[in-house]
Structure 1
Amino acid sequence: MINLSKAAVGEIKRLQLRRQKPEARIRLGVQPGGCADFYYTIDFGEAPKTGDRVYECGTISVVVDEQSLNYISELTLDYSEDLMGGGFRFHNPNAVENCGCGNSFRVAPEVATST
């Protein structure tokens, strides 16, 4: 399950309209690298591929590839603004450590080896 906060839904809708793609799906993923082993990816995606999981969060479709799902199941995507600007925030119960940037994380060894 992937969850979106009310603020994240609002920002995604704003971006969809700005890009003139009100039906665009959001693709969440994980890549190796960053300050703490893995970093999050977020983009407007195309149609789901074989093995992708699609979550319907109200009117927003969120697509996650099978491998990334092992690292971000139960993730809540939020959006907030502060003095440095706005951005998406990732609240990941699978992360045992987060980098100060908020976009990089480390998982427990048993999660990393289960993929």
Structure 2
Amino acid sequence: MITITESANHRIKEMMANESGNQLFLRLGVQGGGCTGLSYGMGFDSERKEDDEAFETDGLQVVVDADSAPLLQGVTIDYKQNMMGGGFTIDNPNAIATCGCGQSFRTATNAGAPSKDC
């Protein structure tokens, strides 16, 4: 299960309201890259794939592709605002290593493919 905090949910809905298009949902995923091997992906989408896993949290529709779902199991997504601005944070209990910025990770069973420019 993925947890999206109230503050993250509110910010995502604000951002979604500024997008054009009907029936948008939040798509979460993981792909190879970043300094540590795997990078998080988060964006809006309107097309679901056959193998997507879907759930709703506090009125927000969320979709995760089947390959990413095990890597995101237990993840908490939060949004924090401070004097420098705001941003999303991802706490992943599956990660055994993360990069300094927190945007890439690796797990015990998946090292991914680190970017060559890191």
| TM-score normalised by length of structure 2 | 0.86
Give the root-mean-square deviation of aligned CA atoms.
1.6
Q: Deviations over 1:34-74 (max 9, x none)?
A: 01110100000123211100011110011000001121111
Partner residue in 1 for 2:59: 59
Larger relative contact order (CA 8 Å, sep ≥ 6): 2
Rounded to whole Å, the distance in 2 between the matches of 1:44 and 1:26 is 5
Q: Percent identity?
A: 39
1:84 to partner: Cα distance? 3.2
Do 2:32 and 2:39's aligned partners in 1 also have CA atoms closer than 8 Å?
yes
Do 2:22 and 2:46's aligned partners in 1 also have CA atoms closer than 8 Å?
no
> SS of 1:66's equivalent?
coil
| Deviates most, 27-36 or 95-104 | 95-104
> SS of 1:15's equivalent?
helix
Rounded to whole Å, the distance in 2 between the matches of 1:71 and 1:25 is 20
Rounded to whole Å, the distance in 1 between the matches of 2:2 and 2:54 is 9
Can you give the 5+ residue segments of structure 1 that lack an aligned partner in the other structure? none
Can you give the 5+ residue segments of structure 2 that lack an aligned partner in the other structure? 112-118
Rounded to whole Å, the distance in 2 between the matches of 1:72 and 1:28 is 9
Code of the residue aligned with 2:110 in structure 1: it is A
Partner residue in 2 for 1:82: 82
Code of the residue aligned with 1:104 in structure 2: it is S
Question: Which is helix-richer, 1 or 2?
Answer: 1
The 1:22/1:92 distance shift into structure 2, 3 A limit, reads farther
| TM-score normalised by length of structure 1 | 0.88
